[in-house]
Amino acid sequence: MAEEAKPQQATATQEPKPQEEKQTNCLACNKPLKKISRYYRNGKFYCNKKCWIKATKKNKDSEDDKKK
């Protein structure tokens, strides 16, 4: 009986893995992303190439401000 209780306690103490949230909006313009028209770069989704360029320029500008 005591041997059967040990495996059950071990599984009860394990924490479930946190689930990653799916990205639902474009990072540049905040439009909802549709499965058909997604632009994927550097691990993130954008609605099109223009928004990707816009977001990368914004990041570069903020990095330059931090350096000064």
pLDDT digits (tens, 9 = 90+) for 23-60: 899 999 999 998 888 999 999 999 999 999 999 998 88
Give the pLDDT confidence score for residue 21 in this predicted structure: 83
- Assess contact for 33 and 26: CB atoms under 8 A: yes
Give the pLDDT confidence score for residue 60 in this predicted structure: 85
Token pair recorded at residue 4? 């059967």
Q: Which residue has the higher pLDDT, 39 or 65?
A: 39
What band does 17 get if pLDDT is binned at 50, 70 and 90? confident
- Residue 26 CB neighbour total at 10 angstroms: 21
In single-letter form, the type of residue at position 11 comes to T
Give the pLDDT confidence score for residue 49 in this predicted structure: 94
